[in-house]
Amino acid sequence: MTSAIKTIPRFNVGDWVSFLSGFRRILAQIVEDRGPLGRQGRRLYQLNIDQGQDESTIEIPEEDLEPAPEIATAEVARKNGFSTQNWPRQTFQVTYVRSNQANGWGASVKPTLRLRGVTSSGAVAAATVRRPSESPDDDPFEIVTVLLEYDPRLDDPHSDTHVWSSLTADALRLADEMFKARHPKAAVGH
């Protein structure tokens, strides 16, 4: 007579876990406990790796999984060996306006869209804008668009003040770098 050994699962459906993929760790959410279906009764879990519109799932044995670390900024996650490629992105629009015909510019940052399924990040675009009613002597303003990753466990990056302040500061820093590359003599104030 054989007796089945019941193992207590280490993880539950809905838990966030990490696993090694190449040289990087990936964050994923458990969507199904498949049970001891693997080779020699290994417990398998079905994981969702959010790719935006192309959500994908993967089956991973329990022994290859670790509990997900605390929620962190993308910079901290990358320093700790995590990939942020499948993380959602927050878009920021940084607007630079020339002040008093001098070479001084004021910058303001505004969050716009949250995106999934986008792999670009950093300062991705800059555009000089003129209003149709402006005379040729009027100064234009410039807009720099920045995309930054945030932890996929957050429904809204505003909900974690540390993550949000880090995203906003990084958006300004990256936008300033792109703006100053285009306007090397500009003095920017925030």
What is the per-residue pLDDT across 3-35, written as a single tens digit (0 to 9) for each?
A: 455 678 999 999 999 999 989 999 999 999 998
State the virtual CA torsion across 101, 105, 111, 115 in degrees, nearest 10.
100
**Are residue 36 and residue 114 in the same domain, yes or no?**
no
**Are residue 121 and residue 178 in the same domain, yes or no?**
yes
**Are residue 60 and residue 124 in the same domain, yes or no?**
no
Quote the number of domains for the chain: 2
- Measured in degrees and rounded to the nearest 5, phi and psi for residue 35 equal 85, -170
Is residue 167 situated within a structural domain? yes
Q: How far apart are CA 164 and CA 74, in angstroms?
A: 11
Judging by DSSP bridges, how do beta strands 44-49 and 65-67 pair with one another?
Answer: unpaired
Q: How far apart are CA 139 and CA 121, in angstroms?
A: 29
**Are residue 96 and residue 180 in the same domain, yes or no?**
yes
What percent of the chain has pLDDT above 70? 88
What pLDDT was estimated at residue 44? 93
Q: How far apart are the first and last CA of the chain?
A: 76
Is a pLDDT exceeding 90 seen at residue 140? no
Residue 138: pLDDT band (50, 70, 90) is: low
Is a pLDDT exceeding 60 seen at residue 128? yes
Q: Which of 4-18, 126-140, 150-164 has the highest mean pLDDT?
A: 150-164
**Are residue 61 and residue 100 in the same domain, yes or no?**
no
Residue 104: pLDDT band (50, 70, 90) is: confident
Is residue 113 situated within a structural domain? yes
Host domain of residue 49 = 16-68
**Are residue 56 and residue 127 in the same domain, yes or no?**
no
Is residue 44 situated within a structural domain? yes
- Note the pTM of the prediction, 2 decimals: 0.81
What pLDDT was estimated at residue 5? 59
**Are residue 98 and residue 20 in the same domain, yes or no?**
no
Is residue 81 situated within a structural domain? no
The DSSP bridge partners found for residue 147 are: 91, 122
Q: What is the pLDDT of residues 160-182, one digit of tens each?
A: 999 999 999 999 999 999 999 99
**Are residue 64 and residue 94 in the same domain, yes or no?**
no
